Amino acid sequence: MMINPYYPGIPFTNFKNLDKEISQHYDRVYDTVVDYDTTPRFMYEFRIGFRDIFYCIDRLYDNNPESVIDVGCGECIWKQWFPSIIGFDPTSFKDSHLDFIDYFDEHFSKNHTANYDCGMALNSLHFISWDGIPDQINLAMNTVQDRFLFTFNFSKLEDKPTENYGDLYINLTNILKSMNYDIKLLDYPELRGVPPQKINHYGYINGHARFMLAHKI
């Protein structure tokens, strides 16, 4: 079911020094002079698994994109770790690094057709009905020329056909396989053994499902 699943220690493909940078940043987290509200390790490690989301974003850069749109970027913190990110959000956050304020919808998609090489939406495209997933994916894919990384939290989705997450994994996989895109990455943390106490943290923000789709050549 999983394609290129993350596992602890899997090497980064495009940013070889990330492990060193992450390790150094981890050391700083316990320094009392650090602003914890803006420390990536503090913000993300127990919410989305920390290293694995870096791995997923790293894979966005397989084809050396010159632009990566970050939909619903919030603080746009990934700019500190990865190049060429253009972030937008409906709201401007304190200390945010976003580039512009806008709302992602059909109008935005049509006005930005193939404007970017790649894209990502972390915790931002799942506030929809279950039946709306294909349309939301198509709108996102319309904005990029290569690939797009999605992370979904099942608890945020409306009108789910079942509350059984095991069935939702199967249903989502079938949806993705039925669409006209290449599945470059598909990862369900729960199915690769993330313990229950961490699943709650994964689910808190966006960790139930991560998948990367690419346009077929």
Q: Which of 94-103, 143-152, 168-177 has the lowest mean pLDDT?
A: 94-103
- Whole-number pLDDT of residue 156: 85
- HSE value, Cβ hemisphere, 13 Å, CA-based, for 56: 31
In this predicted structure, the answer to whether residue 51 has a pLDDT above a threshold of 80 is yes
Least confident among 2-11, 70-79, 119-128, 190-199:
190-199
Would residue 8 count as lying in a domain? no
Res. 27: pLDDT tops 70: no
Q: Give the domain extent around 141.
A: 18-215
How does the average pLDDT of the chain come out, rounded? 86
- Is 49 a member of any domain? yes
| pLDDT in the model for residue 204 | 54
Q: Label residues 29-67 b or e (16+ Cβ within 10 Å = b).
A: eeeeeeeeeebbbbbbbbbbbbbbbbbbbbbbbeeebee
Is-contact 29 182, C-beta < 8 A? no
- CATH number for the domain harbouring residue 170: 3.40.50.150
What confidence score (pLDDT) does residue 202 get?
Answer: 57
Residue 112: how many CB atoms within 10 A of its CB?
18
Q: What is the pLDDT of residue 41?
A: 64
Share of the chain above pLDDT 90, in %: 52
Q: Does 77 have pLDDT greater than 90?
A: no
Q: Is residue 34 part of a domain?
A: yes
Other residues' Cβ atoms within 10 Å of the Cβ of residue 27:
9
Mean pLDDT of all residues in 139-158:
93
Beta strands at 144-152 and 116-122: parallel, antiparallel or unpaired: parallel
Q: Kindly state whether residue 1 falls inside one of the protein's structural domains.
A: no
Strand-pairing partners, residue 70, are 87, 120
Query: Does 6 fall in a domain?
Result: no
Q: With a cut of 60, say whether residue 58 has pLDDT above it.
A: yes
- Give the per-residue pLDDT at 85: 98
Q: How far is CA 53 from CA 8, 47, 139, 211, in A?
A: 12, 10, 23, 11
Q: Average pLDDT of 85-112?
A: 92
146 three-class SS = strand
Beta strands 209-215; 181-187: pairing state: antiparallel
Quick check: is 10 in a domain? no
* Highest-pLDDT range among 8-12, 23-27, 71-75, 181-185: 181-185
In a domain, 129, yes or no: yes
Domain count across the chain: 1
Q: Is residue 11 part of a domain?
A: no
What's the pTM?
0.90
Of 9, 99, 80, 72, whose CA–CA distance to 39 is shortest?
80
